[in-house]
Amino acid sequence: MKQVLLFFSVCICSIPALAQPNGGGSGATQNDLQLNTITTALPFMAITPDSRAGGMGDAGTALSASSTSVYWNTSMLSFAKDKSELSLSYTPWLRQLTNDISLSYLSGYYKINKIHSIGGSLRYFSLGEITFTDVSGNVLRDDKPSEFELTGAYAFRLAKRLSIGINGKFAYSNLTGGLTVGGVNTKAGVVGAADFSFTYHNEDAKIGNTDGTYTFATTINNLGNKIAYSELSKRDFIPMNLKIGNSFQAEFDDYNKVTFALDLQKLLVPTPAYYANVNGAYTMLSGINGDVGIINGIMQSFYDAPGVVAKDANGDYIQNNDGSYQVVKGTKLKEELSEINIATGIEWWYNNVLAFRTGMFYENKNKGNRQFLNFGASLKYNMFSIDFSYLASISGRQSPLANTLRFTLRLNLGRTGGSSSTGL
């Protein structure tokens, strides 16, 4: 069926509105948001592991199926054209800061039949060698902290164009090696989590006179327990997030295919409330306490931005009659929107042998300021293909992510004849 992809066009048009940076510097006003970054435990679970999406601005939610769909969108495996695939990715991490941190990722899938597909992955994050010292600077010991995640994946095809997927995850984070700090024994963190995904995949789509394949996908990732590294420490959220992806693969002729991809991404974690020293007391002036359970935290993440607390001409916070503090109108919504990250990318394949990619990722400067361009390429020969990507920071300062390289080696293990031949 031929159709115009209105939803995809609307998403593309929304980029300029969502990506406007806030004013800053000497011209800042009360309407400008303060720095309020959302942090989580186990951030390695949210690091892009593969070179394909890594070359397209991290816009991987609605890309065509591959073994790394286990990370991005398991439901996409139902539409894979290969019977199975294995891949191994390696990313030297934060090389602007150190030379011994890295992420390794092994993943694969297998299509059992036209309805059922399974997959799995192993993610290993090495933090290199770290020297622990006491408050006086005396060396306690050297250690090599590490974290890993093991994932099992299942995709179920609901209809010709619809599929759902679920992942089960186990993650282990050993950052201290059981070191005793201030009389408190530390421990490794253990997490059980799940991913849920949905895909609509139409191989008979059309934009103008161009035939192609349209994909809409949404995922909820890392839905799991909070974590602590000692019995006395506060339990922290892991990087639960929501991703909404669109892609259109334009088929210009038998040799040239171009994919346009757009992702909107948001952490499903409470935003830190705004605290300040008022009359000698550390007081919450705006926002909501984030020390809540998982479900409450997810729901709260959509409306808990504190915004900007209003000040009078003397620079004092303005208090309402009921004892609460006045928030500048519109800044709560402005901050909520600033928590949406935008990823967009383009991929060109020539004769299914050679590919080039580029993309851009935008995160508001008050929420982490990850802003970068990506470039990538692939070369495929028979069963083997190799992907490469490069990250260039555009945030206006020296970013620790600058010059990040990713490498992926893929092994395709057989064709199914294409997803359109399943008969569904």
Position 375, amino acid = F
Burial status of residue 220 (CB atoms within 10 A of its CB: 0-12, 13-18, 19 or more): middle
Q: How many CB atoms lie within 10 A of CB 67?
A: 30
DSSP state of 317: B
Give the CA radius of gyration of the chain: 23
**Distance spanning both ends of the chain, measured CA to CA:** 15
- In 3D space, the residue among 64, 154, 150, 148 whose CA is nearest the CA of residue 107 turns out to be 150
3-state secondary structure of 287: coil
CA–CA separation, 269 and 208 (whole Å): 40
Residue 186's pLDDT is what?
85
Contact indicator for 277, 284 with CB cutoff of 8 Å = no
3-state secondary structure string across 135-154: CCCCEEEEECCEEEEEEEEE
Closest CA to 260 of 12, 3, 49: 12
Instruction: Give me the pLDDT at residue 16, please.
Output: 35
At 162, list the tokens: 């619809």
How many C-beta atoms surround the C-beta of residue 360 within 10 A? Answer: 20
Question: What residues form DSSP beta bridges with 406?
Answer: 389
Q: Where are the chain's structural domains?
A: 6-18+41-268+340-421, 272-338
Q: Compute the distance between CA of residue 179 and CA of residue 422 in angstroms, rounded to an integer.
A: 55
pLDDT for residue 221 = 98
Q: Where are the beta strands (DSSP E) in 225-330?
A: 241-251, 256-267, 274-278, 281-286
Say if residue 236 is exposed, middle or buried (CB neighbours under 10 Å; 0-12, 13-18, 19+). middle
pLDDT one digit per residue (tens) for the chain, 424 residues = 333 333 333 333 333 333 343 433 334 455 688 899 999 999 999 999 999 999 999 999 999 999 999 999 999 999 999 999 999 999 999 888 888 899 999 999 999 999 999 999 999 999 988 887 777 777 777 888 999 999 999 999 999 999 999 999 999 999 888 777 767 788 899 999 999 999 999 999 988 888 999 999 999 999 999 999 888 788 999 999 999 999 999 999 889 999 999 999 999 999 999 999 888 888 999 999 999 999 999 999 999 999 999 999 988 899 998 889 999 999 999 999 999 999 999 999 999 999 999 999 999 999 999 999 999 999 999 899 999 999 998 876 678 888 999 999 999 987 654 444 334 6
Tell me how far apart the alpha carbons of residues 369 and 341 are, in angstroms, rounded to a whole number. Answer: 10
**DSSP class of 177:** T
Pairing outcome for strands 256-267 and 241-251: antiparallel
Phi then psi for residue 183, to 5 deg, are 80, 0
What is the greatest pairwise CA distance in the chain?
73
Cβ(15)–Cβ(242) below 8 Å: no
CA 321 to chain centre: 42
Cα–Cα distance for residue pair 154/74, rounded to 1 Å: 7
Tell me, what's the pLDDT at 249?
A: 96
- 61, 385 Cβ separation under 8 angstroms: no
> Phi and psi for 75 in degrees, rounded to 5?
-60, -20
Q: What is the rounded distance in angstroms from the CA atom of residue 214 to the CA atom of residue 350?
A: 19
**For residue 416, what pLDDT is reported?**
56
Beta bridge partners of 174: 146
For residue 249, give both structure tokens. 């693969």
CATH number assigned to the domain with residue range 6-18+41-268+340-421, chosen from the 4 options 3.40.50.720, 3.40.50.300, 1.50.10.10, 2.40.160.60: 2.40.160.60
